[in-house]
Amino acid sequence: MEIALILLGAVLCFLRVEAQCRDGWLTFHNNCYLFSRDKASWGESAAICNVFHSHLAIIESAEENSFLKSELDHLHGGSSSAAYWLDGSDIEVEDIWRWSSTGQKITYLNWAANQPNNGHESNCMCLYGGLSFNMADEHCSTSYNYICEISADDAGEILG
């Protein structure tokens, strides 16, 4: 039994080491993130992420939120008018925010002060540079940057 557990542990370690993000993607806690250079509407951004078998970024913890915010501060020198689309929306029911890719209600929320504030006009979630890259609701048709995310287990180089 002990040997079986040790072997299982060794296999899991091996798999963990094997999981790597492709060039251009940043790694955090076994997930890979792509920060776009181009801008697109929320729907176009989601479609582009899908082309790469990923989805718009889903923030599930304060740690993940801090990682993304610090990367955006790094990219933009701490203050910016840029904004980056996330996977969240309240398109289906006003004021009920879900991660669109999974349908899950959003449990971790870190809205900027006075956000969300645009009601039916704004149904898509972004990290807004003018609000220290905290969460804001925005018009889904606006062209912004976007962050794609994929599990490192699904994103590795195809070998052989």
The residues binding Ca ion (CB under 5 A) are 90, 117-118, 122-123, 136-137
Nearer to Ca ion, 50 or 117 (CB): 117
Task: Find, among 149, 139, 147, 141, the residue nearest to 44 by Cα.
Answer: 141
- Minimum CB separation of residue 127 from Ca ion in Å reads 12
What whole-number distance in Å separates Cα of residue 22 and Cα of residue 42? 24
The two tokens of residue 153 are 């287990």
Nearer to Ca ion, 63 or 95 (CB): 95
Q: Identify each DSSP E strand in the chain by its residue range.
A: 26-28, 31-35, 55-56, 83-89, 98-99, 124-128, 134-138, 145-151
- Minimum CB separation of residue 145 from Ca ion in Å reads 17
Q: In this structure, are residues 110 and 102 in contact, taking their beta carbons and an 8 Å threshold?
A: no
- Minimum CB separation of residue 106 from Ca ion in Å reads 13
Task: State the chain's maximal CA–CA distance in angstroms.
Answer: 59
Nearer to Ca ion, 83 or 155 (CB): 83
- Minimum CB separation of residue 89 from Ca ion in Å reads 8
- Minimum CB separation of residue 97 from Ca ion in Å reads 8
Nearer to Ca ion, 90 or 149 (CB): 90
Task: Find, among 139, 155, 148, 152, the residue nearest to 56 by Cα.
Answer: 148
User: What SS3 class is residue 146?
Assistant: strand
